[in-house]
Chain A
Amino acid sequence: MIEGILIGLTTALTLQNILMVMVGCFFGTIIGMLPGLGPMTAIALMIPITYGFDPATGLILMAGVYYGAVFGGSTSSILLNAPGVPGTVATSFDGYPMAQQGKAGKALAIAAWSSFAGGTLSAIYLLFMAPSLSKVSLSFRSPDYFALMILGLTAIAAFSSKGQFLKAMMMVVLGLMLASVGQDSLSDITRFTFNNMNLTDGISFVLVVMATFAMSEALTIILKRNDPTSAAKQVSLTELGSIKINKEERSKMYKTIPRSSIIGFLIGVLPGAGATIASFLAYGMERNVVNDEEKEKFGKGSVNGLSAPETANNAACSGSFVPMLTLGIPGSGTTAVMLGALLGFGVQPGPRLYMTNPEIFWSIIMSMYIGMVILLILNLPLIPYIARILAVPKNYLIPLILFFSVTGIYVMSFNNFDIYLMIGIAVVATFLRLYDFPMPPLILAFVLGGLMEENLRRSLLLSNGSWEFLWDRTLTLCILLTTILIVVWHLYKSIIRK
């Protein structure tokens, strides 16, 4: 492991990679602050830029964007009570009241230090857990992988759908259907191409991500007359107050951070869960753990109430890398985008990544530490100024998002058809978003589609066409039962709700 850490440090500490983390954190912070534009959009917009780098540098850049976006979401939660990403909703419960009491600077400092501590601690957990899990996952067979992918898709549908499980499952199926377009990987038989040569290689992952996130989010903002930047115009540089944290506040954070980081990391590891659930759980747990006097302060500007979700959401970000790096199965929409980008680089994440591409595996982990330090250095003193940058009118913001989306496709294929297809998918996605059809399940399904078919193919061929492979192995059966439990529970909830 020491050798791996050194490899990772050597890669991550090159001037280019440090610069990439800085650019990623800065860019991610700005995008993450804008309500509605989360880490997935930020990463999607960065994909064309990463084409110019090697896989490790590209992934380091995207990881920086990820942390930056989560942190940026906290800033808008605290200053504007407008969470940039769902994972920072819980931050606003106590962060915004603190800001209203004239302690915005202090709230931002608590959020920054908690994010830093949460991210750093979880990167340490990842450091120890990922290699061990990689070794364990080498014993996984095709049926286990197939069952795990079904579980991942079901879980993300369950967690991201806000009570609309069936809508999310429809998006999962749609994502898998889109992934099935093009040549079959084994027989080279074309499917669903309708004799269109442009579809022979299938639909590009970048195209789907750009269409369903960047482009459709831009169209949704225009359609709904939202202005994500309007609230930022009200931020005053002079009313932020001191960023100093006193001894009493520090001692509260010392207790909150370790427990919230563990919760955040473990939730992040679970497929589909992620930063939102982690932050809410950490907030709830913290409220139950503190004494009655402190409990009274929750919702009115509690230090514990702010520190807990901030620690947990950053810890969950690192945790979500575990299934992606070790199993090759992303646990969240954001890591699905990163997985897709990795596949685009020709790198296959999974248990063997640890052995075949140690520089990628370790440099991502090591860049997390560096990213956290940079976020702290960059964001703490610069936040008020970054918040002012957000006063860019949507009249400029929207065309720029569309421009980045089209450029991403243009540099990839030099093909008009792809641009038309992207616009078509974006229009459909915008319409579906209006009626609360979630997009992360679609992306995760699209990324996993090929792998899922491959593992089903192997499993069915090995079992001679029998579906017994689903219960032949205890591990497969356990994963399958968990999936069934999630489906039945959510269907039951759908039925009894009326």
Chain B
Amino acid sequence: MNINTTKVISLLFFIFSVFYLYTAYQIQVFAFDENAPFNARTFPIYLGYAGLFFSGLKLILPEPNNIKVDHKNLEYKKTVILIVIAIIYGATILKVGYFLTTSLFLFSSYYFLGERRWVLMFLLSFPFVAAFMYLLHGILDIYLRDPFLQSIGVMG
């Protein structure tokens, strides 16, 4: 059976709305607010019902233009690698510091996307990040936390 992915997404959204609505009803409000015309759970409850309404309609009504995505032509491998690199980048940026992690993130992303011009890859990672850091930290006065550069005395 050929399952329409848009309908599957709508079904997932419907289930999500049920969960959202259930959680909205669980929001603890102050006792004096319980029967007030509006409290912290009123708006989320309406939103939950709106989610059920629109996703329910999408499930029931016929699909006007059936979108077919050719999964064979999608570049899953590079996309997943890039996401993983971004997660590692996010995990290390605070502990290691902005300069080193960002430079390595850029360098490795260029590499995994197929780039092999090493000099250009280097120039567009380490010196580029240093220049960008100078722009943010030095000129625009936007604080950038960098334990690595602080440990070697480059940053105050």
- Interface set of A (CB-CB < 8 Å, partner B): 48-49, 51-53, 163-164, 166-167, 169-170, 173-174, 176-177, 180, 184, 186-187, 189, 191-192, 219, 222-225, 393-396, 398-400, 402-403, 406-407, 410-411, 414-416, 419-420, 423, 427, 430, 432, 434-437, 452-453, 456-457, 460-461, 463-465, 491, 494-495, 497-498
Residues of A within 8 A of B86 (CB): 402, 406, 419, 423
- List 6 additional A-B contacts (Cβ < 8 Å) besides A49-B140, A435-B5: A169-B54, A187-B40, A224-B75, A395-B110, A435-B9, A465-B37
The answer on a CB contact under 8 Å between A395 and B69 is: no
- Are A177 and B37 closer than 8 Å at their CB atoms? no
| 29 A–B pairs (Cβ distance < 8 Å), ordered by A | A49-B136, A49-B140, A52-B139, A166-B57, A170-B13, A170-B55, A173-B50, A177-B44, A187-B30, A189-B28, A222-B78, A223-B74, A223-B75, A395-B110, A398-B113, A399-B106, A399-B110, A400-B106, A402-B86, A411-B142, A411-B143, A419-B93, A423-B83, A457-B42, A460-B42, A461-B36, A461-B37, A465-B37, A497-B64
Give the chain B neighbours of A498 by CB distance below 8 A. Answer: 62-64
Interface string of B83-98 (1 = CB under 8 A from A): 1001101110110001
Closest to A427 in B: B83
CA gap between A395 and B75 in the complex, in Å = 14
Residues of chain A within 8 A of B150, CB atoms compared? none
A437–B8 Cα gap in the complex (Å)? 13
Main secondary structure of the interface of A (DSSP, over half): helix
B27 contacts the other chain (CB 8 A): yes
Given the interface contacts A395-B110, A435-B6, A457-B38, does A222 sit within 8 Å of B90 by beta carbon?
A: no
Interface status of B73 (Cβ within 8 A of chain A): yes
Count how many chain B residues have C-beta atoms less than 8 Å from C-beta atoms of the other chain: 72
Pairwise interchain contact B93-A406, C-beta atoms closer than 8 A? yes
Given contacts A170-B58, A399-B106, A464-B37, contact A192 B44 (CB under 8 A): yes
Given contacts A410-B98, A414-B94, A416-B94, contact A191 B44 (CB under 8 A): yes
Residue pairs across A and B with CB atoms within 8 Å: the count is 184
In chain B, positions 3-50 with a C-beta closer than 8 Å to chain A are 5-6, 9-10, 13, 17, 20, 23-24, 27-30, 33, 36-44, 47, 50
Contacts of A406 in B (CB 8 A): 86, 89-90, 93, 102, 105
Q: How far in angstroms is the closest Cβ of chain A from B42?
A: 7
A495 touches B50 (CB 8 A): no
The answer to whether A396 and B61 touch across the interface, beta carbons within 8 angstroms, is: no
* Alpha-carbon distance between A166 and B29 when the two chains are bound, in angstroms: 32
Inter-chain contact B113/A399, CB cutoff 8 Å = yes
Tell whether B154 is near chain A: CB-to-CB under 8 Å: no
Let me know if B114 and A395 touch, CB within 8 A. Answer: yes
B78: chain A residues at CB < 8 Å are 222
Task: Name the residue of chain B whose CB is nearest to the CB of A434.
Answer: B69
Q: Flag if A403 contacts B102 (CB, 8 Å).
A: yes
The residues of A that contact B115 with a CB separation of less than 8 Å are 393, 395-396
- A189 contact set on B, CB distance < 8 A: 27-30, 40
Query: What residues on B are CB-neighbors of A461 within 8 Å?
Result: 36-38
